[in-house]
């Protein structure tokens, strides 16, 4: 079983470098930055015109306009590999017992990498705001049940003694990439209320995802036969790899196929963002936002592999035979035949059907509920609740923040968040306007950027906007977190 342990370790350690849902708790209150409208479209900016993204000249792209997020609700790198104690203090150790202490019932991992080509907003004389954005987004999400770790690291013995099935039905995996074109509109209704919405056209680039109805392993307590029952699908729409159902071979994409995927508009999807903000008093405001409510319909080179049925694995038949020299040798041919028979039987019994067929995937959706208290003209406090709904999981976080528009050109933001089952999340953000250029940078966990091996959350967003028509008077901190 050692090889499986190392496979798990390799997969878990590589996940942070894969580039699901947008996690931007500190950004929610940065009212002077256009990108804050990605999490609350109801916010009305101070500037008349804002332009951002890679379209901004090179001098404005230090740092470039991008967003990265990684989150894990169970463990961090040091829960798998860390310095030992005693005689092992100068060596790195692989600590599987510690990992199993940290693994939760369902380990949820999310990644997003976002590259903005264009961000544009225009505020009219009537205080309405029109926004346009063009972005590429790469999303990764995985849910791994604790039973999977138990089975690979400890086997099925405990489940067998308890007379229970090893249930892995909560397992899910998805990796998707798409272009996003968003057009939004925000307006004030009376003085205290503002509402906004954004319609988004999505053009899928590539997708690999699973749909698991059931996946169970049962071990016979007498004969130790393992019975596998499954009802699941693996879906893919990409040129990166193609499976030939006739000769059971994988064909990898050429550079031309990859360029074709990037320029394809065949995988069409739709999404919406909505938001509302209400000023209860001069000091207290509340807001609500829902983002990424939508789907992508995958048509281009789409395939679905379905498995439904039950199979009992009775072991591998091993034989020894006498060779020409009269010595006993291991029956490799017999073992090869047995393994091929197992594979063929699995295909037959599980109805491993691979078809060229379109399918639909839903985006991971988020809701934000915020409230602020304006202590002074330049200093405010905020509260934010965030919930992410994706497949069979609902992930929550709570944040408190301090927000200050110190001068007409500088704003500072700090937050504390309880997320991914840890309270050690200190966020920082700033925006600085020099002439018509506004630089910004924000993270929800500065500790994660400094010590990534100890973090469950690593995210940052940075870039710059060209801003025009800024109000000359110093505005108070916005009513957001």
Residue 317 contacts residue 336 (beta carbons within 8 Å): no
pLDDT at 95: 83
Q: Taking residues 460-479, what's their average pLDDT? A: 69
User: Can you tell me the distance from the alpha carbon of 428 to that of 234, in angstroms, rounded to the nearest whole number?
Assistant: 40
Q: Reduce the secondary structure of 293-351 to three states and give it as a string.
A: EEEEEECCCEEEEEEEEEEEECCCCCCEEECCCCCEEECHHHHHHHHHHHHHHHHHHCC
- pLDDT, tens digit, 9 for 90 and up, residues 320-343: 566 666 655 555 455 555 555 555
Residue 383 contacts residue 370 (beta carbons within 8 Å): yes
Q: Taking residues 390-410, what's their average pLDDT? A: 88
Pairing of strands 426-434, 410-419: antiparallel
Largest CA distance in the chain: 98
DSSP-derived 3-state class of residue 153: helix
pLDDT band at 60; cut points 50, 70, 90:
very low
Q: Which residue has the higher pLDDT, 114 or 238?
A: 114
Q: Taking residues 225-233, what's their average pLDDT? A: 82
The percentage of residues in the chain with a pLDDT greater than 90, rounded to a whole number, is: 29
User: Can you tell me the distance from the alpha carbon of 302 to that of 306, in angstroms, rounded to the nearest whole number?
Assistant: 13
Residue 16 has pLDDT above 50, yes or no: no
Residue 232 has pLDDT above 60, yes or no: yes
Residue 370 has pLDDT above 70, yes or no: yes
Question: Comparing C-alpha atoms, which of 339, 358, 344 is closest to residue 248?
Answer: 344
pLDDT at 20: 43
The domains of the chain are located at: 20-301+356-468
Question: Comparing C-alpha atoms, which of 53, 56, 194 is closest to residue 123?
Answer: 194
- pLDDT, tens digit, 9 for 90 and up, residues 255-312: 666 666 777 778 999 999 999 999 999 899 999 999 999 999 999 888 888 888 777 7
Q: Is 162 exposed, middle or buried (0-12, 13-18, 19+ CB in 10 A)?
A: exposed
| Average pLDDT score over the chain | 80
The percentage of residues in the chain with a pLDDT greater than 70, rounded to a whole number, is: 78
| Window from 32-36, 40-44, 259-263, 465-469 with minimum mean pLDDT | 259-263
| Window from 59-68, 79-88, 152-161, 441-450 with minimum mean pLDDT | 59-68
Question: Comparing C-alpha atoms, which of 453, 294, 275 is closest to residue 362?
Answer: 294
DSSP-derived 3-state class of residue 31: coil
pLDDT at 307: 80
pLDDT at 362: 93
Q: Taking residues 184-202, what's their average pLDDT? A: 93
pLDDT band at 368; cut points 50, 70, 90:
very high
Residue 422 contacts residue 428 (beta carbons within 8 Å): no
- pLDDT, tens digit, 9 for 90 and up, residues 413-451: 999 999 888 888 999 999 998 888 888 999 999 988 888
Residue 438: which residues within 8 A CB-CB, separation 6 or more?
32, 33, 50, 431, 432, 464, 465, 466, 467
- DSSP letter at 104 equals -
pLDDT at 327: 59
pLDDT band at 371; cut points 50, 70, 90:
very high
pLDDT at 179: 94
pLDDT at 415: 94
Residue 480 has pLDDT above 70, yes or no: no
pLDDT band at 2; cut points 50, 70, 90:
very low
Residue 48 has pLDDT above 70, yes or no: yes
Give residue for tokens 């007498």: 222
- pLDDT, tens digit, 9 for 90 and up, residues 93-151: 888 888 888 888 888 888 899 999 999 999 998 889 999 999 999 998 888 898 888 88
Q: Is 439 exposed, middle or buried (0-12, 13-18, 19+ CB in 10 A)?
A: middle
Residue 476 has pLDDT above 80, yes or no: no
Residue 127 contacts residue 188 (beta carbons within 8 Å): yes
Structure token digits, residue 214: 């059931």
Structure token digits, residue 62: 């230090």
Give residue for tokens 């108070």: 476
The CA radius of gyration of the chain, in Å to the nearest whole number, is 26
User: Can you tell me the distance from the alpha carbon of 281 to that of 167, in angstroms, rounded to the nearest whole number?
Assistant: 52
Right CATH for 20-301+356-468 from 1.10.10.10, 1.10.8.10, 2.40.160.40, 3.40.50.410: 2.40.160.40
């Amino acid at each position: 079983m050692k090889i499986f342990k190392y496979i798990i370790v390799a997969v878990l350690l590589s996940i942070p470098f894969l580039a699901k849902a947008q996690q931007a708790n500190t950004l929610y209150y940065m009212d002077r930055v256009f990108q804050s409208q990605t999490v609350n479209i109801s916010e009305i900016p101070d500037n008349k015109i804002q332009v951002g993204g890679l379209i901004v000249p090179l001098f404005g792209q230090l740092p470039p306009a991008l967003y990265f997020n990684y989150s894990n609700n169970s463990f961090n790198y040091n829960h798998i590999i860390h310095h030992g104690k005693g005689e092992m203090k100068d060596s790195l150790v692989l600590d599987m017992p510690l990992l199993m202490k940290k693994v939760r019932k369902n380990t949820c991992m999310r990644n997003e990498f976002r590259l903005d080509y264009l961000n544009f907003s225009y505020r009219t004389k009537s205080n309405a705001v029109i926004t346009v954005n063009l972005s590429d987004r790469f999303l990764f999400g995985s849910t791994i049940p604790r039973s999977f770790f138990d089975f690979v690291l400890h086997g099925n013995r405990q489940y067998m003694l308890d007379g229970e099935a090893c249930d892995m039905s909560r397992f899910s995996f998805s990796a998707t990439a798409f272009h996003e074109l968003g057009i939004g509109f925000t307006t004030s209704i009376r003085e205290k209320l503002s509402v906004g919405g954004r319609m988004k056209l999505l053009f899928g680039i590539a997708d690999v995802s699973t749909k698991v109805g059931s996946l169970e392993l049962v071990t016979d307590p007498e004969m130790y036969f393992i019975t596998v029952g499954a009802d699941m699908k693996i879906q893919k729409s990409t040129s990166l790899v193609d499976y030939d159902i006739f000769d059971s071979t994988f064909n990898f994409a050429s550079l031309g196929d990859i360029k074709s995927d990037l320029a394809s508009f065949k995988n069409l999807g739709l999404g919406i963002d909505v938001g509302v903000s209400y000023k209860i008093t001069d000091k207290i405001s509340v807001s609500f936002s829902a983002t990424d409510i939508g789907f992508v319909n995958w048509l281009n080179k789409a395939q679905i592999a379905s498995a439904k049925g039950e199979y009992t694995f009775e072991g591998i038949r091993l034989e020894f035979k006498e060779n020409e020299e009269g010595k006993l040798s291991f029956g490799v041919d017999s073992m090869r035949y047995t393994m091929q028979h197992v594979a063929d039987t699995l295909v037959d019994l599980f109805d491993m059907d691979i078809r060229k067929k379109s399918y639909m995937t839903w985006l991971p959706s988020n809701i934000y509920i915020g409230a602020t208290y304006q202590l002074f003209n330049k200093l405010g406090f905020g509260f934010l609740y965030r919930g992410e709904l994706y497949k069979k999981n609902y992930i929550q976080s709570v944040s408190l923040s301090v927000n200050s528009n110190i001068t007409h050109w500088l704003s500072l933001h700090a937050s504390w968040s309880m997320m991914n089952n840890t309270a050690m999340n200190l966020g920082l953000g700033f925006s600085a306007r020099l002439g018509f250029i506004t630089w910004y940078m924000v993270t929800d966990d500065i500790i994660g950027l400094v010590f990534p091996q100890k973090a469950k959350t690593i995210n940052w967003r940075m870039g710059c906007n060209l801003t025009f028509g800024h109000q000359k008077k110093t505005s108070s901190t916005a009513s957001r977190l």
